[in-house]
Amino acid sequence: MIDVTEALRLIAETAEPLPPRRVRLEAAVGQSLTAAVVADIDSPPWDRAMMDGFAVCSADFSAAACEPTESIELDVVADVAAGDATGLVVRPGCCARIMTGAPVPAGADAVVPIERAVAGTAAAHAGNRVRLQEPSFRAGQHIARQGDSFRAGQTVLAAGTRLAAPQIGLAAEAGGQHVEVLAPPRVAVITTGSELVSAAVTPAYGQTRNSNGPMLAAAVRQCGAEPILLGIAGDKPEPLRAAITQGLAADLLLLSGGVSAGDYDLVPGALAAAGVACVFHKVRLKPGKPIWFGVLQRSAAAPTLVFGLPGNPVSSLVCFELFVRPALAIVAGRPPAEGQRQTRSVRLVSPAKGNADRPVYHPCTLRATAKGLTAEPLPWGGSADLLGLSRASGLLVLPAGCGSLVAGTTVSALQLDSLADEAE
Ligand code: AMP
Ligand code: MG
């Protein structure tokens, strides 16, 4: 059996960052580009009307026509709506009724807003005449010119850009249907156990609700990765084999249960049969000793890391916190330390008892006090007691062989949650 430090070293040695992935644009929000987005067209792709009104020739708006009291009358020769493609040419003395978002016809080089039409002619359309009064006319007004925003071939989003809603919109405008990103790792989760039923079911005699599936999926999500819940596999070779085959397509596969030494602990054998090489099985810690870790090498893709987590819910989560988190950080391209929970030096406010040959991770409440951080060990019923763990903001790390520790002793703790900020 290896200890926690050696297990972490083996995980760091085995895990490798995922290569960038091309994903559909809509699926890329929150992710960082690994390749720039280069526009395939000018934007706007043509001269675009930015107001509802009349597309006119500037030549008609001489200095005289721009006097506050002057107005000019033009023939309305066409109606151009957004989406219309017209070969029409607007000549001096004429104009086209135009809507916002429509292409400005050839010959016209400004838009006079509908509000500038003299009363009574505001509804002027093709075949009518319109009288316009535009004292502050300037050539080119209310038109977005082709390429004003960006040009074909221009980099609109540089590699490294994090994609939020505006960047997604811009990439779409530039023709980026798919983008290359450092996508979050995909983590398949299989819970094993013939006794397991979903939370929706009132367990019959002998049945146990599946807490680990939702819990591990939540933990995966908290790490910024994407959980894929593959449901419950009974302790039978065939359903287990089928679920494992499916799960091995992900970047990581987490299984819970079936890794101890019982007759129905089929997970290590099923993983070996699927070609997953064992890196370690069993680590000196409490709870969580039966943990299994291995790797499936794939020819055309990054290796799949596989964790067989113990079935007892607290053991499962403690192993996730200690071992899966740093693995996920590496796979996501971050330093493993970033994935680890912060280790704090804390003073016990009440006694705690260790184990003779394994370090114990004991749920506790961490508090920031005027005299530094304190930890209060919580009443805890062991590896199945999720209620006890749910009240904890940290895990005391009680070293192997430490015996009984009195109040006031300084020990390490892993911080799971924000600190309670109270006086002692
Ligand atoms: P195992 O590791 O399969 O031997 O399971 C150890 C204990 O954890 C047994 O009492 C199981 O019923 C329980 N257990 C296993 N998987 C789950 C799960 N997904 N949710 C809740 N308890 C579980
Ligand atoms: Mg089991």
Q: Which ligand is nearest to the CA of 316?
A: 1
pLDDT of residue 420: 65
Cβ–Cβ under 8 Å, residues 24 and 163: no
392: CB partners within 8 A, 6+ apart: 363, 364, 365, 378, 416, 417
Tell me if 268 sits within 8 A of 246, measured CB to CB: no
What pLDDT is attached to residue 121? 74
Let me know whether 155 and 214 are in one domain. no
- Note whether 208 and 139 are same-domain residues: no
Q: Rounded to the nearest whole angstrom, what is the distance from the C-alpha of residue 383 to the centroid of ligand 1? A: 10
CATH number for the domain spanning 274: value is 3.40.980.10
Residues 191 and 324 in one domain: yes
Q: Are 375 and 349 in contact (CB under 8 A)?
A: yes
Tally of domains in the chain: 4
What domain range is 196 assigned to? 4-18+183-339
CB 97 within 8 A of CB 126: yes
Mutate to test the pocket of ligand 1, among 196, 235, 389 (most ligand atoms within 8 A of CB): 196
Over residues 152-166, the mean pLDDT reads 97
Are residues 260 and 349 located together in one domain of the fold? no
Q: Supply the DSSP string of 296-317, one letter for each residue.
A: E--SSSPPEEEEEE-SSHHHHH
Q: Are 422 and 369 in contact (CB under 8 A)?
A: yes
Q: Are residues 313 and 176 in the same domain?
A: no
Q: What is the CATH number of the domain that holds 383?
A: 2.40.340.10
- How remote is the CA of residue 232 from the centroid of ligand 2, in Å? 11
Of ligand 1's atoms, which has the minimum distance to the CA of residue 210? Answer: 20
Q: Which atom of ligand 1 is nearest to the CA of 235?
A: 3
What is the bridge-based pairing of β-strands 143-144 and 21-24? unpaired
Calpha distance 285→3 (Å, rounded): 7
For residue 424, pLDDT over 60 is answered with no
Ligand 1 atom 14: residue of nearest CA: 311
Q: Which two tokens stand for residue 14?
A: 């085995």
Are the C-beta atoms of 163 and 32 separated by less than 8 Å?
yes
Give ion ligand 2 contacts, CB < 5 A.
Answer: 193, 257-258, 311
How would residue 422 be classed by pLDDT, with cut points 50, 70 and 90?
A: low
Measured CA angle at 328 (ends 366, 254), to 5 deg: 95
pTM, entire model: 0.80
> pLDDT per residue over 108-153, tens digit each?
999 999 999 997 777 799 999 999 999 999 999 999 999 999 999 9
- What six digits make up the tokens of 160? 């490294």
How do residues 179-236 score in pLDDT, each as one tens digit?
999 989 999 999 999 999 999 999 999 999 999 999 999 999 999 999 999 999 999 9
Domain CATH code at residue 139? 2.170.190.11
Q: What is the mean pLDDT of residues 293-305?
A: 94
Determine contact, residues 413/406, Cβ cutoff 8 Å: no
Which ligand does the CA of 229 lie closest to? 1
Local confidence band at 65 (pLDDT 50, 70, 90 cut-offs): confident
Average pLDDT over residues 52-64: 91
